[in-house]
């Protein structure tokens, strides 16, 4: 168990810190061990304007922006397609595991048209926009269709009547 910070203990640590900072060697070398090299380790870029920096202008990555983007894209495309789709499920309040369970339960098919998606997009998470409750996984076409009808059952019924009358 840690001891509480008493005034006496605070004073002791404060004096020790002041003594460290009074030493010119400590001041000159403080933080040098964590400084990043002045150029990108991949392409050799050295212009600070091409790096991600914090509010104080310090580099936050050891790679330039372009190399960071390339590596990020490469990591994304190395993932299996199902993992890429599932990683977006957090937006709807479900976990990657829940997404994969839904995918298995639907046999990788759309909940409405019962077909395997032919596009790279795969299956989309369908949710009620009012409550946020997830209903199932849909192909792109069915997802767009529901969105076009604004999830309104009466509009969908009118569309069904229209299609039946022609």
Average pLDDT over residues 16-43: 77
Q: How far apart are alpha carbons 57 and 79 in whole angstroms?
A: 33
pLDDT in tens, 94-133: 888 999 999 999 999 999 999 999 888 889 999 888 888 9
| Residue-wise pLDDT tens digits, 5-14 | 888 888 998 8
- Digit-coded pLDDT (tens) for 49-94: 898 888 887 788 889 999 999 999 999 999 988 888 888 888 888 8
Give the residue from 81, 87, 84, 90 showing the smallest Cα distance to 127.
Answer: 90
Hey, which residues does 138 pair with through a beta bridge? Answer: 124
Widest CA span in the chain: 90
Count CA atoms closer than 13 A to 103's CA, side-chain side. 21
| Torsion angle (degrees, nearest 10) of CA 97, 99, 103, 104 | 20
Read off the pLDDT band of 31 (50, 70, 90). Answer: low
The structural domains of the chain, ordered by start, are: 39-78 (no CATH), 94-165 (3.40.1800.10)
């Amino acid at each position: 168990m840690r001891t509480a910070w008493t005034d006496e203990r605070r004073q002791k640590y404060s004096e020790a810190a002041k003594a460290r900072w009074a030493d010119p060697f400590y001041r000159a070398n403080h933080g040098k061990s964590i400084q990043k090299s002045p150029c990108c380790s991949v392409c050799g870029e050295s212009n600070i304007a091409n790096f991600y920096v914090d509010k104080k202008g310090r580099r936050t990555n050891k790679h330039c922006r372009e190399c960071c983007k390339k590596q990020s894209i490469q990591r994304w495309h190395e993932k299996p397609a199902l993992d890429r789709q599932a990683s977006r499920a957090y937006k709807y309040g479900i976990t990657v595991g829940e997404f994969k369970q839904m995918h298995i339960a639907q046999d990788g098919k759309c909940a409405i048209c019962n077909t395997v998606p032919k596009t790279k997009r795969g299956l989309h998470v369908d949710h009620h926009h009012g409550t946020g409750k997830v209903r199932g996984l849909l192909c792109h076409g069915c997802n767009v269709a529901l969105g076009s009808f604004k999830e309104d059952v009466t509009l969908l019924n009118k569309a069904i009547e229209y299609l039946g009358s022609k």
